[in-house]
Amino acid sequence: MTKFVKRIALLIAIPFFIWTGYWTAFAYAIERGISLASQNPQISGTGAQFEVASVTGYPQNFAIGITEIEIGAKDRFTWATQEVLVEAKSYQPNRINVDLSDPHSISGSIGSLGIDAELADLSVFFKPNLQLSLGNLDANFQNVILSFEGITGAEIETMSAHISASPNTETNYQVTAQIQNLNLNLSNMLVGLGTDYQRIQNISLSAEAQLSQPLDRLTMASGAPQLRMLLLHEALINYGDISVLLDAKLVSSEAGALNGNVNLTVQNWKTLFSLVKRLGYIEPDLEEFFYTILVNLAIEGGSEDSLTIPLTITNNTISFGALTLGVLP
């Protein structure tokens, strides 16, 4: 009877040992792969430096800590952070959670932007195919502090985004995003405005983007995909008693220039005009000229309080009728 019990116990233990050994070997392979990748700093023209700290939690879970990360493209931008923690369940390795709560810095030709958040989580689901193409991505951030050149400039209470692959095509993605309570009072850009205009209550958008290639495991080797088409269903900004609504359809040329149309609607536009004038962005001798044009445009639209401006973008140049307003960066 004792031998029988021991044999049963051994039979039960064998699958556990195989399971544990398999995931232990897999964990070692992950750690080894990241370490080897860190020794190859050039990926499609992008410099990457990082070290792997540990792979723990297996066989049930995987927690991959990657430290001292610095990724950048020459003469364009550099992103750096101390540590990123990637977690996944061994029974569903194509769904991962990423903890980005450590401080980040993004630097480029215009300066250095620092980002710190109390909570910064990503949840990513990859489709179970050979390419591991992106299925959906959810991002949630809380109490985000933005600083420029080391000086705190803004705080964001909550920020969220959702990206999902369109079911009928491999290169189209649905995007929704929202920012709530963007406090600009910490910067000097709004000095002289009332308290109601030191904070943007809400920024939200819903859009569809078409890329030049799918977001999958081949992206790292082939480089970031290019934007081919952007269909902005709606973007809404609530700022004091002012609301700004946008919709657009933009198409990118082979050279990367944008072409298309943007419709901009501003509710309580006179208040916005007054704020812009107070900040010194309108020359005194041109104030009456612009104000008259905007009043007439609002009347044509049927309401003096609501102003709709149809904009045209041709090769990155923004124009309103025959008037050129600027060039996209």
Residue 87 domain-assigned (yes or no): no
Query: Mean pLDDT lowest for which of 131-135, 191-195, 319-323?
Result: 191-195
Residue 302 domain-assigned (yes or no): yes
CA separation for the pair 73, 81 (Å, rounded): 16
Helix (H, G, I), strand (E, B) or coil at 197: helix
In 127-221 the beta strands, taken as DSSP E runs, fall at 134-148, 151-165, 172-183, 199-211
pLDDT for 153 beyond 60: yes
CA separation for the pair 133, 165 (Å, rounded): 9
Residue 174 domain-assigned (yes or no): no
In the prediction, which pLDDT does 281 show? 81
What's the structural domain count of the chain?
1
In the prediction, which pLDDT does 68 show? 75
Residue 46 domain-assigned (yes or no): no
* Mean pLDDT score of the chain: 78
Average pLDDT for 109-133: 82
- List the helix and strand counts (H, then E) for the chain: 4, 17
Residue 256 domain-assigned (yes or no): yes
Residue 275 domain-assigned (yes or no): yes
Residue 40 domain-assigned (yes or no): no
Average pLDDT for 256-268: 92
Task: Name the band, by pLDDT with cuts 50, 70 and 90, for residue 26.
Answer: very low
Provide, rounded to the nearest whole percent, the portion of the chain with pLDDT above 90.
26
Determine the structural domain holding residue 317 and report its residue range.
Answer: 241-329
Selection from 238, 111, 100 nearest residue 182 by Cα: 238
pLDDT for 213 beyond 70: yes
Residue 71 domain-assigned (yes or no): no
CA separation for the pair 190, 326 (Å, rounded): 23
pLDDT for 77 beyond 60: yes
Alpha-carbon distances, residue 11 vs 4, 16, 183 (angstroms): 11, 9, 62
pLDDT for 110 beyond 70: no
CA separation for the pair 314, 327 (Å, rounded): 9
Average pLDDT for 272-278: 87
